[in-house]
């Protein structure tokens, strides 16, 4: 046999992407073989090479698009003319929602960096740094405006990101807590961690916002 009835390049490509993310998240990039991936998609291994020239190209594509999606999500969600507390609130909500929705892709992006070539690793890390820079800016603004109490802006940003991204390690959809409940709890932990002093007006607004989503 050769080309099968109803075969379509676009469908096959997105099937490859989805299966690759799932398999890489479960077994790891190195442990996933191209034959295993092909079997999951329902094609021969050679067919994969029509869409991705090498295994590493496949990995890099998945990672790059994940990071682009994250940055784009924040670009859409970022509030304009908002207080540091409101901006931080939006950042946390966006970060957690995005990472829970794409747990598998996040897993791959965080765990398989070492399988990239140096140049590609640099490109991914640059995107990550740009995204984290946004958080540092929010923390710095809040500290300068004296509405946050922060010892070390860079260190606090790293701690917050590790804490938030860590959700994907233990969170399973449909278990004890909903996404909204998790987000609300993380939001209040974050605000306490940065020592946010909110005026009653703003505090109520942020709180209502969290409640609304919960």
Per CB under 7 A, residues contacting DNA are 1-12, 32-36, 38, 42-50, 53-56
Q: Does 169 bind its own copies (CB under 8 A)?
A: yes
CA of 5: how far to CAs of 1, 2, 8, in Å? 11, 10, 9
- Residue 175 binds its own copies (CB under 8 A): no
State both tokens at 53: 């020239």
* Cα separation, 12 vs 16, whole angstroms: 6
Contact 180, 213 (CB under 8 A): yes
Binding partner at 71 among DNA, its own copies, none, C-beta below 5 to 8 Å by kind = none
Q: Which residue carries 């390690």 as its tokens? A: 169
Q: Which does 39 bind (CB under 5 to 8 A by kind): DNA, its own copies, none?
A: none
C-alpha atoms less than 13 angstroms from C-alpha of 129 in its C-beta half-sphere: 6
| Residue 3 or 176 having the CB closest to DNA | 3
Structure tokens at 3: 């080309």
Q: Is 26 in the site for its own copies (CB under 8 A)?
A: yes
Q: Which of 47, 71, 163, 203 binds its own copies (CB under 8 A)?
A: 163
CB of 4 to its own copies, least distance (A): 32
**Out of 89, 94, 109, 156, the residue judged to bind its own copies by CB under 8 A:** 156
Q: Which does 165 bind (CB under 5 to 8 A by kind): its own copies, DNA, none?
A: its own copies
Residue 194 to residues 6, 9, 139, Cα–Cα distance (Å): 56, 49, 8
Q: Which CB atom, from 54 or from 122, has the smaller least distance to DNA?
A: 54
* Contact residue for its own copies among 37, 115, 124, 139 (CB under 8 A): 115
Question: In the Cβ-directed half-sphere of 165, how many Cα atoms lie within 13 Å?
Answer: 17
CB contact burial 98-125 (16+ within 10 A = b; e otherwise)? bbbebbbbbbbbeebbebbeeebeebbe
Query: Quick one: which of 34, 137, 189, 203 contacts its own copies (CB under 8 A)?
Result: 189
Instruction: Establish if 31 lies at the interface with its own copies (CB under 8 A).
Output: yes
Which residues are near its own copies by CB under 8 A?
26-28, 30-31, 111, 114-115, 149, 151-152, 155-156, 158-163, 165-167, 169-170, 177, 182, 185-186, 188-189, 192-195
């Amino acid at each position: 046999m050769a080309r099968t009835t109803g075969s379509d390049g676009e469908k096959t490509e997105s099937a490859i992407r989805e299966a690759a993310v799932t398999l890489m998240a479960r077994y790891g990039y190195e442990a996933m073989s191209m034959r295993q991936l092909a079997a999951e998609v329902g094609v021969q291994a050679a067919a994969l090479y029509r869409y991705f020239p090498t295994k590493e190209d496949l990995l890099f594509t998945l990672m790059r698009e994940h990071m682009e999606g994250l940055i784009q999500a924040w670009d859409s969600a970022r509030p304009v003319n908002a207080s540091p507390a409101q901006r931080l609130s939006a950042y946390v909500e966006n970060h957690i929602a995005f990472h829970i929705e794409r747990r598998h892709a996040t897993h791959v992006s965080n765990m398989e960096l070492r399988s990239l070539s140096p140049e590609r690793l640099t490109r991914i890390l640059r995107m990550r740094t740009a995204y984290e820079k946004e958080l540092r800016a929010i923390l710095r603004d809040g500290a300068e405006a004296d509405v946050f109490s922060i010892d070390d802006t860079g260190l606090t940003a790293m701690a917050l990101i590790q804490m938030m991204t860590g959700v994907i390690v233990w969170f399973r959809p449909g278990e004890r807590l909903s996404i909204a409940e998790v987000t609300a709890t993380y939001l209040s932990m974050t605000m306490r961690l940065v020592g946010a002093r909110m005026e009653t007006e703003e505090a109520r607004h942020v709180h209502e916002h969290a409640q609304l989503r919960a």
